[in-house]
Structure 1
Amino acid sequence: MESALEEIEFLALSANRVDVLRLLSERARTRNELASETGASQATLGRILSDFQDRSWIRRVGSEYTATATGDLVASGFTDLQDIIETERRLRDVVDYLPAEAMGFDLKRLADATITTPSQTRPNAPLSRLLELLEDATDVQTVSHAFNEQTLTVVQERTTTGAQTFNGVFSQRAIEALAADTTLRDRLETLLETDGASVRVHNGDVPLAVMILDDVVYLLLRDEHGVLRASIDTDDAAIRAWAQETIDDYWAATTPLDLEADEFSA
């Protein structure tokens, strides 16, 4: 009997085998239907169907073939593995920047996420993506170790006009950086005076930058030196639930920003 790895190799080395088993796990099909949907020749299909019958993955009923219970199991497991590998390939270039310990959700949930990375022609692409989302959002919540000038400007302008509500928790270091700059301090003060905006300060480290913009969750990924490396955004419901819980927890454990406090004094 072949080992599990040998069985995986048997299936993985042929796209036609994968397609045939997947199709037969969906519903019964004739050989002609399989040929039409896969593009495989009748000779190839004959070998595949024979191999599958030897493994009891499929059975023949009249002129049709259908997957057995174990065939369904293999098809489902292999599809899951393909999905996992596809997700891993998409995340491979940014995995070193993911705040994995703070991310309480299955990475498979990022399968359909939008991943934005800098390029030579668009070095600020992740930030541009955030600003694009910010300019359209009506409700924004965030927890972050950073609050940059561009984000502050968009939020301040949109909350002032009543186009957006904003609730943010930031690290003390992020607020100190803004308070030390006269122009940015003025913008922050204007934001704090807006009815639709609230800002709180976290005294410890904030290991991630997560934002909920209406129904979209946005993650800003930086390296250990604080250099922006990528962003990820998704409307996955499970990730949104995690993001909401994370923001709520930080919010409950922090206090409102007071720019008159000694640590933020000009």
Structure 2
Amino acid sequence: MDPALEEVEFLARSTNRVEVLAALADQPRTRRDLESVTGASQPTLGRILRDFEDRRWVERTDEGYTATATGRLVAEGIVDLRETVETELKLRDVIEWLPTAEMDVDLRRFRDATITVPTETRPSAPVGRSLELVRDADCVRSVSHAFNDRSLDLLRRRTTEGEATFEGVFAASAIEAVTDDAVLCRRFRELVDSENATIRVYDGAVPLAVTIADDVVSLLVRDDDGVLQAAVDTDDEAVREWARETHERYWTDSRPLEVADLEE
């Protein structure tokens, strides 16, 4: 077996080993400190520390124990690996539908994301989660290939009543779909006519549906048949910056939509 993988396996077989090494890489600690931080027993800590000393990952100091330079290197690597795998596990069931080709952001930034999927009792849970974020926001920006009648109603009400501002860029096909429905078109006209809303039309393909509600980014992901599979939202700074840049890019490349452009 590869010696490097053997060391990875040695660490991975024990959560306590990972926690102890990460704790010592953070700052020097006594065995009592380590017991408090990791929950490991003193006999377990003794075995771990001896193994780490043998590998020259930790050394004794007047303050107890501290990680060596190589110990800090290994700690950083194993913590990064764990966080990477944790993120993969979280995204595994939705990754095939995420618009990753459009997402110039490290997927590890989604480690703390909230993922909402449909259930038998709540088939519209992803839309409900997206509406929850919009309902509490003062500023909403969107880039999307489609409209949802519930979000349209919510945005129409909040902008016409002066509760929020909205800047939306939508695929031309999405606008056409709305105008083909008399009821939706009437509601849409009210949204477009609101002084707190600005709608623009993008004539090319829009392969994503992303909304920025204040500081939270939400993506609605659909399968190849257009069936909604999940809502993924996060307040991660890097994801937020990507979403803002994406909105700005589509906004610049789109054309304004006026009420007069919508047929009665």
Shorter chain as normaliser: what TM range?
over 0.9
In 1: Cα distance, 2:17 partner to 2:218 partner: 38
**TM-score when scaled to structure 1?**
0.93
- Summarize the Cα distance change of 1:31–1:190 in structure 2 as closer, same or farther, 3 Å threshold: closer
For residues 25-44 of structure 1, what are the structure 2 equivalents within 5 Å? 25-44=25-44
2:53 counterpart of 1:88: no
For residues 1-266 of structure 1, what are the structure 2 equivalents within 5 Å? 3-62=3-62, 64-258=64-258, 265=263
Shift of 1:235: 1.1
In 1: Cα distance, 2:37 partner to 2:167 partner: 51
Shift of 1:136: 1.5
Unaligned runs of 5+ in 1: none
Deviation string 1:75-114 (CA, Å, 9 cap, x unpaired) is: 1111111111111111111111100000111111111111
Letter paired with 1:97: W
In 2: Cα distance, 1:114 partner to 1:131 partner: 14
In 2: Cα distance, 1:120 partner to 1:25 partner: 46
* RMSD after superposition: 1.8
Letter paired with 2:12: A
Letter paired with 2:23: L
Shift of 1:35: 3.8
In 2: Cα distance, 1:32 partner to 1:215 partner: 41
Letter paired with 2:189: E
Shift of 1:181: 0.7
Shift of 1:188: 1.1
In 1: Cα distance, 2:30 partner to 2:234 partner: 40
Q: 1:179–1:259: 8 Å Cα contact kept in structure 2?
A: no
Shift of 1:202: 1.0
Local SS of the residue matching 1:173: helix
Q: 1:58–1:65: 8 Å Cα contact kept in structure 2?
A: yes
In 2: Cα distance, 1:121 partner to 1:43 partner: 49
Shift of 1:43: 3.7
In 2: Cα distance, 1:31 partner to 1:215 partner: 41
- Summarize the Cα distance change of 1:158–1:65 in structure 2 as closer, same or farther, 3 Å threshold: same
- Summarize the Cα distance change of 1:34–1:226 in structure 2 as closer, same or farther, 3 Å threshold: same
In 2: Cα distance, 1:28 partner to 1:142 partner: 47
- Summarize the Cα distance change of 1:136–1:30 in structure 2 as closer, same or farther, 3 Å threshold: closer
In 2: Cα distance, 1:204 partner to 1:35 partner: 59
Unaligned runs of 5+ in 2: none
Identity %: 54
- Summarize the Cα distance change of 1:62–1:133 in structure 2 as closer, same or farther, 3 Å threshold: closer
Between the two proteins, the alignment pairs up a number of residues equal to 264
